[in-house]
Structure 1
Amino acid sequence: MPQPIWLVRPRRDGGSDYVRFLPSQETVEIREGSHLPPQMPLLKSRHWLAIEEAEARRLELQQDAGYHCSEPLF
């Protein structure tokens, strides 16, 4: 996971849930939140995982939770 990755899932209210993966040297910072323009994004959680664990989490979100890869929301 050499580049930042955005996963997005649309919501019924017109907003989006998002998960942003920000890789660094040995870990990946994962930011989960929601966004309903024009409001500011809401950060719900922020944690760090090893690269292998982050990749497994990304696959789980895409396969089971309805997220898809996206351009940055903001």
Structure 2
Amino acid sequence: MPLPVWLVRPRSDGGCDYVNFLPAQGAVEMREGSHLPPQMPLLKHRHRLPVDEAEAWRRRLQQESGYQCSDPLF
């Protein structure tokens, strides 16, 4: 996972849940949160994972939880 990856899932209230994967020195930082414009994004969880584990999380979120690849939200 060499580049930042954004996954987004729309919510019924007009906002969205997001997961952002950021490469960081041989690992990947996974940030989970929600966003309801015009409010500031809410960061719910932050994890540091090995690259292969982060890739498995990305696939699982897309296949089982309805997340889609997206341009950066903010």
TM-score, normalised to structure 1's length? 0.98
Distance 2:55 2:7 in 1: 12
The answer to whether the aligner puts 1:37 opposite 2:59 as a matched pair is no
Q: Counterpart of 1:50?
A: 50
Secondary structure (helix, strand or coil) at the match of 2:59 reads helix
Secondary structure (helix, strand or coil) at the match of 1:14 reads coil
Q: Flag structure 2 segments of 5+ consecutive residues without an equivalent.
A: none
Secondary structure (helix, strand or coil) at the match of 1:2 reads coil
* Percent identical residues: 72
Q: Counterpart of 1:17?
A: 17
Q: Flag structure 1 segments of 5+ consecutive residues without an equivalent.
A: none
Secondary structure (helix, strand or coil) at the match of 2:6 reads strand
Q: Counterpart of 2:6?
A: 6
- Give the AA of the match of 2:22: L
Q: Aligned pair count?
A: 74
TM-score, normalised to structure 2's length? 0.98
